[in-house]
Amino acid sequence: MDNPLLTLHNRRILLGITGGIAAYKSAELTRRLQDLGADVRVIMTRSATEFITPLTMQALSKHPVHLDLHNPDTESVMGHIELARWADLVLIAPASANSMARLASGHGDDLLTAVCLAAECPVAVAPAMNQAMWAKHPTQKNRAILSERGIHFLGPDSGLQACGEIGAGRLLDIDALLLEASALFATGRLQGKTVLITAGPTREAIDPVRFISNHSSGKQGYALASAAVDAGAHVILISGPTALTPPDRVDIVNVVSAQDMHEAVQARLPETDIVIGVAAVSDYRPQMVEAQKIKKGQCGEPTLTLELVENPDIIAEAAKHPSAPFTVGFAAETEHLEDYAKRKLAGKNLAMIVANNVANTQIGFNSDANATTIFWSGGELSIPMMSKRALSERLIAVIADRIEAAS
């Protein structure tokens, strides 16, 4: 990967600020993290507020600043446990000698130490203090204790300090801090890629009350979106109507009809590297949508005839877009699975197609499991029945393999 800082994209960084003159640098650190696509939330100790205001950090992070462990408002919405679960990384910068001592002693009587005790994600400490304080035996002992517990140390740096002395104890400069923080995250196979995924059904209106649709639940598309995020991608999820909660850290675009979905996809193709068309898009729509509800018997006949017209082929048009995204289609079939899937692969000029038999109720639209066969030019791979999330991880790995093989 050309830019190692890309591993910070889409990451949730919980920034802890403790009391010290270097606290002012946390403002730039927050801005730079956001520029890299990270979501930053801030915890400040009371002593930190003597050096930089919570209002400043709130304005920069675009989130309320967390100050107190026993705050009825924050504890009811996002208390220390929720904050710890939310974070991909707890980064304490600057970390004072006092904060290191409290962490080493296992304190949990303020918000920052309680979050560190509850965190299951990596915790990193960026020390900032006078060179004599850093060199003292208690500080070095605390450093050893914290390192043994798996806490990462970013710095400190050496040089001229605010007190006029020279030595080790300076907060790392922001560029070095970002680089070391980025190294704490494994490089995902889709790092730096933008992945557009369509999911769910579409609805084609007949009148203000009725519509044509299908049984798609959106579960497979949403699972793929989560797996792509975990692989480091920036994910755009264009979803038809579902009852699902959108995955974290995706750009969600809600649509209703096939034409809505077509327009949303076309608008975002220039920024997209990979398109995965999981949505069960209606092939046809009524030629005319009635302005009022159709009443039973109003035609004077016991039958009702609807004139249908073809919808745009969203995935085929994506495959031939000038931006040339790596395009993956889905084929939900009830018979002749391999034959129909291979026809779509060739006819729509797709890079890959994922075929599944929706006649099997164990892996149908509303199930939590799936089994597929993936086809590409000159190859295929069958994946046995497993959860849709596990299958999504396999699919993302295959997509990454094919992209690497083509490069």
Q: How far is CA 391 from the centre of its chain?
A: 18
Helices 54-61 and 25-35 pack at an angle, to 10 degrees, of 10
Instruction: Kindly write down the DSSP assignment for every residue of 116-156, as one continuous string.
Output: HHH--S-EEEEE---HHHHHSHHHHHHHHHHHHTT-EE---
First to last CA, the chain: 14
Helix or strand holding residue 98 (H, E): helix 97-104
Three-state SS sequence of 246-268: CCCCCEEEECCCHHHHHHHHHHH
Burial of 256 (0-12, 13-18, 19+ CB in 10 A): middle
Find, among 228, 240, 185, the residue nearest to 326 by Cα.
Answer: 228
Helix or strand holding residue 396 (H, E): helix 388-406
Q: Based on DSSP, count helices (H) and strands (E) in the chain, helices before strands.
A: 14, 19
- Cβ contact 348:362 at 8 Å: no
121 as an active site residue: the answer is no
* Close Cβ partners of 22 (under 8 Å, ≥ 6 residues apart): 94, 128, 162, 170, 171
CA gap 97, 120 in Å, rounded: 23
CA gap 256, 5 in Å, rounded: 37
Number of neighbours of residue 5 by Cβ within 10 angstroms? 19
CA gap 365, 222 in Å, rounded: 13
Catalytic residues: 163
